[in-house]
Amino acid sequence: MKTIDLNDATEPLAEYVKRMEGEPITIMHKGVALAILAPAGNDDYESVQMSTNPKFIALLERSRQSLREEGGIPAEEVRKMFADDKDDSGTTP
């Protein structure tokens, strides 16, 4: 993985993107990683946005907490619920 110190990162962002060559560049400051410039690859924009959105992360954590405290619905029960919802054509609504 390529790294660059924040104080040395003086070029336009576009220049660092051109230099990535398929691997991330980590921006460091005093030995601590501050940011990572990474190629998008197969990740779609929405996935990246959601995985870094504080509100979405908080929603996930609340859901996980609820699951730990109250339990969830077994997978077999969910399958049965969807099977019951199928219309005569055999597709789910």
pLDDT tens digit string along 42-90?
667 788 788 889 999 999 999 999 999 998 888 898 898 888 776 545 5
44, 50, 51, 52 alpha-carbon torsion, rounded to 10°: 110
Confidence label for 39 from pLDDT (cuts 50, 70 and 90) = confident
Is 2 inside a domain boundary?
yes
Q: By C-alpha distance, which of 55, 15, 8 is closest to 37?
A: 15
Residues 25 and 48 both lie in one domain: no
Residues 11 and 32 both lie in one domain: yes
Whether 27 and 35 have beta carbons less than 8 Å apart is answered as yes
Residues 80 and 63 both lie in one domain: yes
Residues 79 and 54 both lie in one domain: yes
Residues 35 and 49 both lie in one domain: no
> Sign of dihedral through CA atoms 85, 88, 89, 93?
negative
The total number of structural domains that make up the chain = 2
Rg (CA), the chain: 22
Boundaries of domain holding 73: 43-85
